[in-house]
Amino acid sequence: MKIRLFIAATSAALAFAVMPAKAGDWTLMDILIGKRYAGNVTAIQITDGHSNSEWAVPAQVIYPTGNSLAEAQAEVMDDPSLQAALEVRGIAPKNVLWIETALTGGKIIYYR
């Protein structure tokens, strides 16, 4: 009885492992471990209720000005790797609030 249950469970697990993913281009490893994005880019979404006390967020993100938005969006347009990173994540360039360069050389994108 235990052997039949084990065989049934193993068969079901293998069936799901070899099935193509139905959710876009997600694979089983993406679902279990997480989606791997290209580049050294971190994207942080800023919502309306986001306060500066929760995260160390630059003032330009919480109180964006026309100049800071234009600067961030110009940086996106000048860098093809940033454009690709935004496209993979489904973020429109017009939603980028600010871009920082991390100490590791990677980029941190704040978007709405």
What range does the domain containing 86 cover?
A: 38-112
pLDDT exceeds 90 at position 36: no
Q: Residue 14 has what pLDDT?
A: 57
pTM exceeds 0.85 for this model = no
Does 15 lie in the same domain as 61? no
Average pLDDT over residues 58-77: 89
Quick one: three-class SS letters along the chain? CHHHHHHHHHHHHHHHHHCCCCCCCCCHHHHHHCCCCCCCEEEEECCCCCCCCCCCCCHHHHCCCHHHHHHHHHHHHHCHHHHHHHHHHCCCHHHEEEEEECCCCCEEEEEC
Does 112 lie in the same domain as 58? yes
Domain count, the chain: 2
Does 29 lie in the same domain as 47? no
Tens of pLDDT, residue by residue over 8-29, are 666 666 555 555 545 556 677 6
Average pLDDT over residues 35-52: 71
pLDDT exceeds 50 at position 68: yes
Does 54 lie in the same domain as 6? no
